[in-house]
Structure 1
Amino acid sequence: MKTVEKIIQGLASGDVERQVAAVEQASVVVGELAAAAVNAFEHGPNHFLIAERLHMLGTTTVPYLQDLLRRPTNEETKTLAALVLLQLNDRMGVPILLAEVEEGSDYAGLCANHLAQANIDGTEAAIVRRLAAARLDEVDLIVSLVIALRKMGRELPSDLSCRFNGDTVPWQIRTLL
């Protein structure tokens, strides 16, 4: 706690040399915090809860998240790291996110929505391919993907619209059309 107090005092001092030193010191501390947060994300028991808050540390986390994508680690961690990077306007993890939309399970809809919001090339095609392959009992996935497609200002291709409009199709899907 003394380090933070010292930094705050330096910033409030009104002396330019002390302020500059305090900003430099703060930068080091923030970098250490970002590295520790990404480490907690990678090794902690619940990746998602940490990942959804990492963006609050800003771009300081970017090099640590990029490094994580380069290392061998589990797919969930890579997918969530790629989502955080995209939130921070870094596109290094876009191929991971597109693959998750097409082939993944737990985060396909979330990835599609983030990619659509960022207007990433290839998102529409990945969503359409996943919708074509989706089982009708994957209601939440289909709904998420259709919403992502609409977020991009796109509509379902006619063949998918017909597929999702039958009497045996769950009502949650039919009502989107």
Structure 2
Amino acid sequence: MKLTAALLSAIVLSASAAMAAEQPVGAPETEFFDHNGSTIVAQYKYGNLRYMKVKPSLRGLVDEGMAAFSGDIEWRGAVHGTAYVFKKGCPFVPYEVSGRYDPSIPGYVMTGAYPVRSKKGCDIVGYSNKGANARLVFVDTFERDRRQVKMSKSAQDAYIDSVYETEGGEDYMDGFISSEELERRNRKGRP
């Protein structure tokens, strides 16, 4: 049994090393993603997505460091491997998923038929292509935040442009008083 485990570990390590060599130059070793409110860390070198910070509703069901996905994951490319279904009081169940990085999200989208458990118990009663576990989305938090800042900057620039467009109008100074008028009002005690 120990020999089988050692061989399996050697195969996994060699596959991880081969996969790491396939990553493009300049690709980060790790990145962060949001998966339904949990923070996930992508470890490209090892081919996995792991829970870094578990959302409150999953505490006690999923532990920090547990894999959400393991397999082949290319930076900004294709993914193929194993995802996991969790149910309180039951062991996690692996299932096959595949997909790719979708820049429009931005993030990885994976699909696969997931194991459905019985209502009462841990037994697998079938597989489904519908439901939350059939389509997994891992949102690239850096890219999402970068886009939000860029959009905010665009909105600010549009506002500034609109202000400058109105400066040339003849009623531009309506509602403003001159410095002389302000001084005159202050001498009279009027704010």
| TM-score range for the pair, normalised by the shorter chain length | under 0.3
TM-score (norm 2): 0.21
Bigger strand share: 2
TM-score (norm 1): 0.22
